[in-house]
Chain A
Amino acid sequence: MKEALGIIFGEGSDAGLGSLTAKRSLAAVPIASRYRIIDFILSSMVNSGITNVGIITQRNYKSLMDHLGTGKEWDLNRKIGGLLLIPPYSSRETMSNENGDLSDLAGALDFLEKSPQKYVVLSKSHLICNLNFDDAFEKHIHSNAIVTIFYQNLEPKGEISGLKNRFFIKTDQEDRITQVKAYSSTNESNKISLDIYIINKEFLIYLIRDGLATSEKGSLSEIFSRRIDHIRMIGYATKDFVARIDSIKTYYQANMMILEKEIREKLFFKPGLIYTKVKDEAPSKYMDSAVVKNSLIADGCVINGCVENSIIFRGVKIEKGAKISDSIIMQNSEVQENAILEHVILDKEVIIRQDIRLTGQESYLILINKGAIV
């Protein structure tokens, strides 16, 4: 897929991850013991042969910059192409046009124009997935499409939380898209858009320029919806596991789903590997009193206590007598003796003092801010 470049939005359209995104962009939220959310879509692009990726950042992008560095972990520290961070862009042209994907894309105009590739794989970063775009790309070219929208078939056709801001598409027998519509109570389609697109570059450049001139607002879904009769758009169904992170709840669920063997074995290994920043931690150490059940644990941890159904990030210390269950403990946090945590999310570098007890519910998770001492 040398003919395509990649663009990833650092933010989701409506990230509601509370304090997890207070000081970092959604793309940089830690997930699955040693990754950041963006690792999954970025690795998917790299594994599909895309070697030129621009990442659109909006606010709080320091931690994202720190995470991505020169892009070497993704093999994107290239002379030709590679990784480009596109910081917020404002000029007289864009000042008046602040809300909308097109204004965010304005900063990427130069990048788009100067890149030799003719197609763009464009995605939001809030997807936990391991995809290969080759097949969809072939279909895109084969069917002379201007835009390909990735979707999943939802089944059963029942209530799933967080559909409020999601878009559904309808397609004809040849997969041509006939409707792009926001979810409503009268929703008829089960084809839910994943916010991943393949777009002909010239058309995307035209859209951005046109959007700047007319101050067109809204998300790409809305923008495509308005043009449904004018351009050839096709749908591409993916059957792979895709988790979308748009709330604390979906964030927690995605982490817990990775404890399942089938999902884990696919998500981390097939069709490609998921890359992330290397930290050079020692292997994790289990002491005499450690009891660990059904958990994922990264390197650099020292475990004296009990851990069950939990996600433990790098460099976490769990002291004797501490009991952690159904929780997510981020990097370099420390849980001291006899503390008890249930349904808790600890951001990075949190210290839980001796004998503290924090009990949340699956429907009411307790979230502790970065660096807090409880």
Chain B
Amino acid sequence: MQNKECIALILAGGQGSRLGVLTKKVAKPAVNFGGKYRIIDFPLSNCTNSNIDTVGVLTQYQPLELNSYIGSGQPWDLDRSFGGVYLLPPYMKSETGIWYKGTANAIYQNMNFIQMFNPRNVLILSGDHIYKMNYTKMLDFHIRNNADATISCIKVPWDQADRFGIMETDKSMRISNFYEKPKNPVSNMASMGVYIFKWEVLKNYLIKDEADNSSSNDFGKNVIPSMLNEGQRMFAYKFNGYWKDVGTIYSLWEANMELLHKRPAMNLFDKGWRIYSKNAIQPPHYTASGAVIKDSMITEGSVIYGKVKNSIISSGVKIGKNSIVEDSVLFPSVVVEENCIIKKAIIGERSVIMENSKIGVLDAIDGQTPSKMCSDGIVLIGSDLIVEPGSNIAKNVMVE
């Protein structure tokens, strides 16, 4: 049997409940991003660009769209004879079959899959972050240190450190302490949820963790602390690039808006590190004579007659005459008819905003309750909805 140096597993089972109606029908990693991508394109493309050719995608919540999106893995060049991309939902074993209980349990349930490739190391990723990272460099660091585990980390603002797994290290970057979501953080070095483990070592800890009924079977809460307690060689790998958790409506909107900066930290035009995606079959986009487009990204298949400012327009979107779209993210195949005003909105796939509608213009409207998911004035409209002509939807409202 051939051995793989390193295979990747992407945890893509998260429900993403803080994304409200956007994850009503799809798993969080399948949420649209940046005009033509989905969130999972980023870890998948990072794997491809890092020459990792075997990737397991662990799905659980609403897997249908994610499964059909990934398909054979061809858009990421992951349709391989030995290796490639595998979709790994929970399944029935001889007597029992259970849902993935936690991140560590999800890997535990797929030990047979990993064993098939008998890798020296496994790279564990999460399917809900936007970043470009060369995992090869991290793997080199891991091997150079003869580490049992390497955790990628990034400096976060001190006031947010209590939302992450926080690490303390010595000068050689060996981890001395790890605190999962600490109330009083002692450091601002946060775990990015990107781990490399020696497979032989991890395997034993997964088995031990599974046997422990009191464990919640989570990497951050259980497996990593217990490895650290037992003196395993664990190192922190510093990452300096752009990394964004898009787990909330606001952070998803903000990450999209950050693409529109003059020199965005997340450069999608970098030909040396392309982000691959399943491309819609669409003609070039058409900009009509009366259209005005500024500081925006427009994807193929769109047809623009109105005004677009500071917005992300996905494939197949139509914007009618005299309509204004500002600071918004329009998902694929959204239709905005004539004479509409749309401000600071995220609009789900295939929804139709009929003529003379106003979205995100007024602060509050009687009968419309602001959503807890929305903040900072962002309006969220789900997919496949029809907003009737002349509608008026206030800021911070979620329509489903």
A interface, CB within 8 angstroms of B: 32-34, 72, 259, 264, 268, 273-275, 278, 280, 282-288, 290-300, 302, 311-312
Which residues from B are CB-within-8-Å of A294?
A: 287-289
A280→B284 contact, CB < 8 A: no
- Name 16 A/B residue pairs within 8 A (Cβ), A-sorted: A34-B300, A278-B279, A280-B277, A280-B279, A283-B35, A283-B312, A283-B314, A285-B260, A286-B295, A287-B295, A291-B292, A292-B287, A295-B286, A298-B284, A300-B269, A302-B269
Which residues from B are CB-within-8-Å of A278?
A: 75, 279
- A303 to chain B: closest residue by CB: B293
Which of B74, B268, B286, B295 has a CB less than 8 Å from the CB of A288?
Answer: B295
| Complex Cα spacing A298 to B280, Å | 13
A270 to chain B, nearest CB (A): 12
B283→A264 contact, CB < 8 A: yes
B275→A295 contact, CB < 8 A: no
Which residues from B are CB-within-8-Å of A299?
A: 36, 284, 299-300
- A261 to chain B: closest residue by CB: B286
Chain A binding site: helix, strand, loop or mixed by DSSP?
loop
Q: Which 9 A-B pairs have the closest CB atoms?
A: A33-B284, A282-B268, A283-B35, A268-B283, A283-B299, A283-B297, A296-B284, A298-B284, A292-B287
Please judge, given known A-B contacts A283-B36, A302-B269, whether A296 and B298 are in contact too, CB under 8 Å.
no
| Complex Cα spacing A291 to B274, Å | 27
B281→A298 contact, CB < 8 A: no
Q: How many A-B residue pairs have CB under 8 A?
A: 98
Which residues from A are CB-within-8-Å of B275?
A: 280, 282
B287→A298 contact, CB < 8 A: no
A329 to chain B, nearest CB (A): 12
Which residues from A are CB-within-8-Å of B86?
A: none
A72 to chain B, nearest CB (A): 7
- A43 to chain B: closest residue by CB: B281
Interface: B291 (CB within 8 A): yes
Known: A292-B287, A298-B284, A298-B300; 11 extra A-B contacts, CB below 8 A, are A280-B275, A282-B297, A283-B34, A285-B297, A287-B295, A290-B294, A292-B291, A293-B287, A294-B288, A296-B285, A299-B284
B284→A32 contact, CB < 8 A: yes
Interface: B296 (CB within 8 A): yes
Interface: B313 (CB within 8 A): yes
A292→B293 contact, CB < 8 A: yes
- B277 to chain A: closest residue by CB: A280
Which residues from B are CB-within-8-Å of A298?
A: 284-285, 300
| Complex Cα spacing A288 to B383, Å | 30
Which residues from A are CB-within-8-Å of B308?
A: 286
Interface: B235 (CB within 8 A): no
A273→B281 contact, CB < 8 A: yes
| Complex Cα spacing A221 to B291, Å | 47
A364 to chain B, nearest CB (A): 25
A44 to chain B, nearest CB (A): 14
A281 to chain B, nearest CB (A): 8
| Complex Cα spacing A296 to B260, Å | 21
B294→A286 contact, CB < 8 A: yes
A58 to chain B, nearest CB (A): 29
B297→A264 contact, CB < 8 A: no
Interface: B197 (CB within 8 A): no
A284→B283 contact, CB < 8 A: no
Please judge, given known A-B contacts A278-B75, A283-B34, A298-B300, whether A33 and B294 are in contact too, CB under 8 Å.
no
Which residues from B are CB-within-8-Å of A285?
A: 260, 269, 296-297
Please judge, given known A-B contacts A290-B293, A298-B284, whether A283 and B298 are in contact too, CB under 8 Å.
yes
B165 to chain A, nearest CB (A): 32
- A278 to chain B: closest residue by CB: B279
- B36 to chain A: closest residue by CB: A283
B275 to chain A, nearest CB (A): 7
Which residues from A are CB-within-8-Å of B199?
A: none
| Complex Cα spacing A128 to B392, Å | 44
B289→A286 contact, CB < 8 A: no
A297→B294 contact, CB < 8 A: no
Please judge, given known A-B contacts A32-B283, A280-B276, A283-B299, whether A293 and B294 are in contact too, CB under 8 Å.
no
A34→B283 contact, CB < 8 A: yes
Which residues from A are CB-within-8-Å of B281?
A: 273-275
Most chain-A CB neighbours within 10 Å: which of B293, B312, B313?
B293
| Complex Cα spacing A291 to B295, Å | 11
A295 to chain B, nearest CB (A): 6
Which residues from B are CB-within-8-Å of A34?
A: 283-284, 300
Which residues from B are CB-within-8-Å of A286?
A: 293-298, 308
- A268 to chain B: closest residue by CB: B283
Please judge, given known A-B contacts A278-B75, A286-B296, whether A33 and B283 are in contact too, CB under 8 Å.
yes
Which residues from A are CB-within-8-Å of B284?
A: 32-34, 296-299, 311-312
| Complex Cα spacing A110 to B61, Å | 52
A295→B287 contact, CB < 8 A: yes
- A317 to chain B: closest residue by CB: B269
Those of B289-326 within 8 Å (CB) of chain A: 289, 291-300, 308, 312-314
A288→B294 contact, CB < 8 A: yes
| Complex Cα spacing A148 to B258, Å | 57
B300 to chain A, nearest CB (A): 5
